[in-house]
Structures are given as structure tokens and as C-alpha cells.
Chain A
Amino acid sequence: MSMLEIRGLNVNYGDFHAIQDVSMDVEANSVVSLIGANGAGKSTLINAICGVNKIRSGSVTFLGHDITKQKTSKIVSLGLTSSPEGSHCFEKMTIQDNLLQGAYLCRSGKERRKRLDEIYELFPVLKEKSKQLATYLSGGQRQMLAIGRAMMTQPKLLICDEISLGLAPVVIKDIYVQLEKVREKGITLVIVDQDVNRSLTNSDYTYVMLEGRIVMAGESKKMNIDEVNDAYFGINLEKKEA
């Protein structure tokens, strides 16, 4: 059984059928890429998995628990969280408070401190600015803060939504280096990105979304970049298995 199993998922966004019959699997200790153009429904899907968006039909199973209709807080306590699109830092709180808030479910202050030190080790820049308000961070730093905060929940599966949106290539490279370290800690990753090439080289498995559907899926290494590009832009609409 996979760590995360999504079967026949349908999500409405208002009256708009945003996610249509999506099925996905995420194996433990793997890195899965989810790619697609703007408006393909990636964030809607992620938010539905995390319990932020209401699911109309279908099921989501995480580590054997049915989390289809669970509250976000419950899902997080099971070990699944995301760093959302647009990072959603707590603007009026300090960096340190942002991170400590990530460990909200941890009852021991000592343990929270320990996790904080680990994050500071991973993202030294956050330590330098620990007393500043999140609102003064740069785009890349915000992304790191969001990932750091998500890691403070000690997730088994971490979903990074729109990891590269609006960031300079240098910064993106830096973040991918750090994500590799996250993976080494034994955390399963789902990375949402818009760059086909980068996604294929940095993941074990790739899903391509188009207009609310999964139109292509396969092992990243075996996928043909031209075919992925076609699927990404909807040039050839038949579903393919690489």
C-alpha cells in the first residue's frame, strides 16, 4: 500500500468542477513531482488533500487512515502537511514564532526548541533573522520559512506547493539543494512546480495535470521530456502511461 492514495477525487471550486476524477499514489521515501500550467488545478488538489478545500467525491487515504473528510488539524497530526502556495507566512509574527507555531501540536517546550535548532541548521538565514517579522522577508526566505514551518510539524509527507513561483533561478537552485536534505531526513516529498525539466530531474515519479485532470504519469527517469511538454500544454490530450 502506498503512503498516500487518492482515488477518483472530484473537487468543486464554487460551481466550477476544478478537480475531475483524479487518482494518485505517493510511495513512502520517494519524491513525487506534480506539474501543470497555471490553473491546472494543482493547488486545489493539494488543498483538498490537506482538508482545506472540501472534497465532493472520491477518497484520500494516508498511511491507512481515511482522511477524505478530516479536518486539516487532524490530518497534520497524522503527519501530512503542506507549505502552501504563496507561502502564507504569519506576517505579524517573528520568524522564530512562525517556526515555533509549526510545532504547535508538540506539547514539550524542550522538544520544540530541539526542532527549532534543526530548522536553523537547515536554513541558517532564518536564524540570522529570527527576531524579525515575517513580512520583511524576501521571496526565497519566505519559501524557506514556509518549508521550515511545515517541517516543524514533523511530517511524514510534506507537500511543497508552487516551490519556485516568482523566485530567481539561483534561489530556486538553493531551495532544491535544501529539499534534498529534507529528503535525507526520511521525509517523503510532493513537489509542485511549473518547470518540466527541473521536476523530472529532481523526482522519482511525476504526475502532469491539465484542466483538473491527471493527463500523464510515470517514473521521472523514463519519461520523455517532449511528450511531457505536450501533455503539459495539452497538445496531445490522450492519457499516456510512460
Chain B
Amino acid sequence: MLQYLVQGILLGGLYAIIGIGMSMVFGIMRLTNLAHGDLMILSAYLALTFCDLLGGNLLLATLFTIIAMVIIGFLIQAFLVNHVLSKGAEPALLVTFGISVFLANLLHNIFSADYQSLPNSLTNTQVISTDLVSISAIYLFSFVVAILMIVGLHFLMQRTNFGRSIRATSDDDMAAGLTGVNTKRAYVYAMMLSMAVTAVSGVLIGSTYTFNASMGSSYLIIAFGVVVIGGMGSLIGTLLGGIVLGVAQLLGSYFLGTGVQLLVAYLVLLVVLATRPNGLLARATRK
């Protein structure tokens, strides 16, 4: 039981990272990126490919993956999403849905349906190993990375001129324009930033679990769950959301068996969606 709880919390860190990129994009441009899961899986495959090319140097491969994903983020935002954002939420949603279908099938064609994993020395290392509880190094590492990223992004958003301009744009894009912000460009920056985070999440997921091309959509639901539970656009909330989902999933597997562990997480998500659509942390809803 304790083992499940601890692991659930640590898994929450990993889930938080998955959610951060989606949360940012939603918070800033009100876009639900349905391709988020597939972009994450794409990152994992990119890291795998770079790793092969670079002779197994995962750290360097991660760096290249981040760069590649930032470029992809730029392309998606500048050439696709920016053109439909003004037409309302649904066309933009459907564009990302199209990207999702495109990517998932493209990856399937290139890499086949075989399960892959990233070679990471942390995967099979235990940090703590007692009778009561054992902690895998990769989970702990992911948790620490999640906290570092949240703190880093929080600082960037709250304390810098760049972060302020992004917040201003998400708050009122017309007024942001009148202070000299090129709002379309701000959206592009936001997507690029989100993709950088997504790249990291892809590498961590690929190191922790096996993955294949069709898994994007289940990670999308997790990302969405994290974001909804934590409150759309709230960085600190994503950590809470990740932990809630992670613990729900592992307690589900403890009580009901591994087959239905995700079902429990989904049910928690549905309850939150129906009762607290603005997230657990949200104050009384403002109309």
C-alpha cells in the first residue's frame, strides 16, 4: 500500500511534466492541443533516433530532440494554428486533431507497431530498496525534473518581461497588442516553449515505459486529466493534478488489479470534469 502511494506520487511528477506543455498552450491561447500526446511520442522517437545516431548519448540526444521539437512547434503554430485561432475554439481543436491523426499514423508507418524504449541507465536503478518501499531512480528523477521545470517556468512567466508579455496576451490579446506585443508571435513563442517541455516529457516517458506510435492518445488523456484537475493554465496545479491521477491509478491497480488502473484514473478525471471544471485549486467560479 505504502509502496503504491509513494510510487503514485512519484508517477504524478511524470504526469505533471506531460501536462505542463498542454497547460501552457491552453492557458495562453485557449487551445486544447489534441496532438499533444502524439507530439510527445514523436519526441520519444526522435530521441531514440538521435540516440542511435549519436552512439547512445541520451543527454545529447535529448538536447537535439528539444531543438527539433521547438522547430516543429514553430511550424505548427506559425503555419497552421495561428490561422484558425481567430475562427473560434473548434476549428483550432480540429486542426490539432488532424495533426494528431497524421502524426500517429506517420510514426506507425516509419517505426512500425513494435514497442520501443530509450536506453537510460536510471531505468533499472533503485534509489531506495527496503521491504516496505522501493523507489526507482527514473521515477524520482522525473519527479525532480517536474519540480525544477515548474519552478523554472513559473519564474520565467512571473518575473521576466517575456513572461509578462505572454501572460498579458493570454489575458487580453487586443490590449497586449496596444502595448506593442506582436500577439501572433507571442503564440508562436508559447507553442515553441510548450514543445520544448513536451520534448523532455517524451524522453522521460520513453525512458520509463515502452512506447509505440498508437500510445499518443492515452497520454493525451492523462495530460488533459492533469490539466483539468490542476486547473487549466495553472503551472503549480499541474503537479497536484499529476499526483492525484498518479495516486488514483496506482491505488486502482492495488485494489482492483492492473487491468483497470487507468479506468480509475479516468473516473476520477470525469468526476472532476463534472463537478470542478475549473480544477481542484480554482476559487469560486467567476462568470
Contact = CB atoms under 8 A, between A and B. Distances in A.
Contacts of A71: 177, 182
Contact of A73 (B161, B171, B180): B180
A77 B180 contact: yes
Interface stretch (A25-33, A86-94, A178-186, A223-231): A86-94
A101 B174 contact: no
Interface size class of A (residues with CB under 8 A): 20 to 34
Contacts of A73: 177, 180-183
A72 B178 contact: yes
Contacts of B165: 101, 104
Interface string B166-180: 011001101111111
Interface in A34-64: 50-52
B182 A81 contact: no
Contacts of A76: 177-180
Contacts, number: 78
A72 B177 contact: yes
B153 to A, nearest CB: 17
Interface in A122-168: 149-150, 152-153
Nearest to A149: B179
Interface size class of B (residues with CB under 8 A): 10 to 19
B186 to A, nearest CB: 9
B175 A90 contact: yes
B168 A150 contact: no
A102 B171 contact: no
Contacts of B176: 90, 101
A71 B171 CA distance: 19
A100 B171 CA distance: 15
B171 A93 contact: yes
A105 interface: yes
Contacts of B171: 90-93
B164 interface: yes
A84 interface: yes
Interface of A: 50-52, 71-73, 76-77, 81-84, 88-93, 97, 100-105, 109, 112, 149-150, 152-153
26 contacts: A72-B178, A73-B181, A76-B179, A82-B178, A84-B174, A84-B175, A88-B172, A88-B174, A89-B175, A90-B167, A90-B171, A90-B175, A93-B167, A93-B171, A97-B168, A100-B161, A100-B164, A101-B164, A101-B165, A104-B168, A105-B179, A105-B180, A112-B161, A149-B175, A150-B178, A153-B180
